[in-house]
Amino acid sequence: MSDMTLDEALYTTRAMRRVRPDPIPDDVQARILDAAIRAPSGGNTQGWRFLLVDDPGVRGRLAPIYRDCIDMLWKTIYADRISAMEADPDAPDSIEMAKVQRSANWMAKNFEVYPLLLFAFAQGDPTGGSIFPAVWSAMLAARAEGIGSTITSVLMFRLEEVLKILEVPPDEGWVFACCVPMGYPTGRWGVARRRPAHEVAFRNRWGDPLGFEVPGPLWKG
Ligand SMILES: Cc1cc2nc3c(=O)[nH]c(=O)nc-3n(C[C@H](O)[C@H](O)[C@H](O)COP(=O)(O)O)c2cc1C
C-alpha cells in the first residue's frame, strides 16, 4: 500500500492524460479496484461493475471511436466555449480552455497508448451518485501508485458501438458511467487550479458569504 498522505492525493489527483505505454501490473490493478469498491453507494447496493481493458485489440477498436467522439464534443457541447476562445484567445477562460483542448486532443490522438482503461457501469443509480465516489476512489488509489488517470464520458456519443465491442449485456440495466484511461505519466504532478472555495460556497442562505476566504491551496506539498 502507498504511504502518500491523503492531502497530497486529494490535491494532486487531476486529469493526467500524457502517459507512457508501460503496463500496470496486476497487483497494482488489484489495489486500485479494492480501494474503489470500498466507496459508498445508496443503501450499500453496490450496483456497479468495472471492466478493465488492457487487450490491445479491444483498445485499438475503441481508439478511432474515441477520436470521432472528441471531434463531436468540440462541435457540439463545447462549440460556444471554443468560439469564445477563438474570439479572445488571451482571456483567462480562453487560456484554460485551450489547455484542456490540447490535452484532450493528445488523449484522442494517442488513445492506443493507455495500457489500461477502466470502464464503470451502474445499475439502479438514477442520479449517478452511487458510481462516481467509487470511480474517484479508483483515481485517488491510482494516484497513490504514481498512475495518472482521467474521467472521460465522451464515448457516450457512440455508446451503442462501444457497448457491443465490450460485450455489455443489453438487458441487465447496466448504464455506462465513464471510461478512465490510466497510465504512468510522462510529466509531473501539480495542484489542480480551481476557483477558490469562498467564491463557490455560501453559508446558511444562498449568496451569503462563507465567513472565511481561502486565497490559495491550503496544501502546498
Ligand atoms: C464527468 C466528467 C466527464 C469528463 N469527460 C472527459 C472526456 O470525455 N475527455 C477528456 O479528455 N476529459 C474529460 N473529463 C476531464 C476534465 O476535462 C478534467 O477533469 C477537467 O478539465 C479538470 O482537469 P484538471 O483536474 O487537470 O485541472 C471529464 C471530467 C468529468 C468530471
Would 1 be classed as within a structural domain?
no
CB atoms within 10 A of CB 74: 15
pLDDT digits (tens, 9 = 90+) for 107-160: 999 999 999 999 999 999 988 899 999 999 999 999 999 999 999 999 999 999
Pocket test for ligand 1, best of 102, 132, 150 (most atoms within 8 A of CB): 150
Nearest Cα residue to atom 13 of ligand 1: 152
Would 171 be classed as within a structural domain?
yes
13: phi then psi, degrees, rounded to nearest 5? -85, 115
Would 17 be classed as within a structural domain?
yes
Three cell numbers, residue 214: 481561502
For the four alpha carbons of 70, 71, 76 and 79, in that order, the dihedral sign comes to positive
DSSP letter, residue 47 = -
Would 34 be classed as within a structural domain?
yes
Q: Tell me: pLDDT of 217 over 80.
A: yes
pLDDT digits (tens, 9 = 90+) for 183-203: 999 999 999 889 999 999 999
Q: Are 53 and 108 contacting, i.e. CB atoms less than 8 angstroms apart?
A: no
Nearest Cα residue to atom 30 of ligand 1: 151
3-state secondary structure of 62: helix
CA–CA dist 104, 136 (Å, integer): 19
CA of 140 to the centre of ligand 1 (A): 15
CB atoms within 10 A of CB 42: 13
> Cα 33 to chain center, whole Å?
15
Q: What are the Cα distances from residue 217, in Å, to 10, 26, 30, 67?
A: 11, 34, 32, 34
Q: Any idea what the CATH number is for the domain that residue 106 is in?
A: 3.40.109.10
Would 110 be classed as within a structural domain?
yes
Close Cβ partners of 102 (under 8 Å, ≥ 6 residues apart): none
Q: Tell me: pLDDT of 2 over 90.
A: no
CA of 210 to the centre of ligand 1 (A): 28
Residue 128 pLDDT:
86
Q: Tell me: pLDDT of 1 over 80.
A: no
Bridge-based pairing of strands 116-122 and 175-183 is antiparallel
CA of 12 to the centre of ligand 1 (A): 14
Domain of residue 94: give its range.
6-190
pLDDT digits (tens, 9 = 90+) for 52-109: 999 999 999 999 999 999 999 999 999 999 999 999 999 999 999 999 999 999 999 9
Q: Tell me: pLDDT of 36 over 80.
A: yes
User: What is the position in ligand 1's atom list of the atom closest to the CA of 107?
Assistant: 11
Which candidate, 158, 157, 156, 152, places its Cα nearest to that of 176? 156
CA–CA dist 199, 207 (Å, integer): 10
CA of 126 to the centre of ligand 1 (A): 21
Mean pLDDT of the region 162-189: 97
How many domains are there within the chain? 1
Would 218 be classed as within a structural domain?
no
Residue 94 pLDDT:
93
CA–CA dist 100, 134 (Å, integer): 24
Residue 127 pLDDT:
87
Residues with CB under 6 A from ligand 1: 14-15, 100, 104, 107, 150-154, 192
Residue 159 pLDDT:
98
173 in the Ramachandran plot: left (φ > 0), alpha (ψ -120 to 50) or beta? left
Would 206 be classed as within a structural domain?
no
Three cell numbers, residue 60: 485499438
Would 108 be classed as within a structural domain?
yes
Nearest Cα residue to atom 22 of ligand 1: 15
